[in-house]
Amino acid sequence: MELFDQKADSGKNYLPQDGTVNYYGRIFTRDEADDYYTQLLAALDWQHDEAIIFGKHIVTKRKVAWYGDQPFSYTYSGILKRASLWHPLLLAIKRQVEDLSGERFNSCLCNLYHDGSEGMAWHSDGEKDLKKHGAIASVTFGAERRFGFKHKTTKETVYLQLEHGSLLVMKDQTQDHWLHRLPPATKVTTPRINLTFRTIMASNVDTPA
Q: How many CB atoms lie within 10 A of CB 187?
A: 7
Residue 173: partners with Cβ closer than 8 Å, 6 or more residues away: 18, 19, 20, 133
When pLDDT is averaged across residues 101-127 and rounded to a whole number, the result is 94
**Model-level pTM?**
0.89
DSSP state, 202?
G
Q: DSSP 3-state assignment of 198?
A: strand
Q: Each residue of 141-182: pLDDT tens digit?
A: 999 999 999 999 999 999 999 999 999 999 999 999 999 999
Q: Is residue 5 part of a domain?
A: no
Bridge partner list, 120:
182
The 10 Å Cβ neighbour count of residue 135 is 22
User: Do residues 64 and 46 lie in contact, with contact meaning Cβ atoms separated by under 8 Å?
Assistant: yes
Q: Is residue 57 part of a domain?
A: yes
3-class SS of residue 88: helix
Domain presence at residue 149: yes
Nearest to 65 by CA among 119, 106, 107, 110: 110
Quick check: is 1 in a domain? no
pLDDT at position 54? 59
User: Cβ(141)–Cβ(37) under 8 Å?
Assistant: yes
Does residue 2 fall inside a structural domain?
Answer: no
Tally of domains in the chain: 1
Whether the predicted pLDDT of 208 surpasses 80: no
Domain that holds residue 104: 20-189+196-204
Q: Above 60 in pLDDT, residue 127?
A: yes
Number of continuous H segments (helices) and E segments (strands) in the chain = 3, 14
Q: Which residues face 82 on adjacent strands?
A: 73
Confidence of residue 76 (pLDDT cuts 50, 70, 90): low
pLDDT band at 1 (very low <50, low <70, confident <90, very high): very low
- Tell me if 13 is assigned to some domain: no
Find the CATH number of the domain harbouring 60. 2.60.120.590
For residues 12 and 88, give the distance between their C-alpha atoms in angstroms, rounded to a whole number.
31
**Is 33:164 a contact under the CB 8 Å cutoff?**
yes
Instruction: Give a yes or no: residue 3 inside a domain.
Output: no
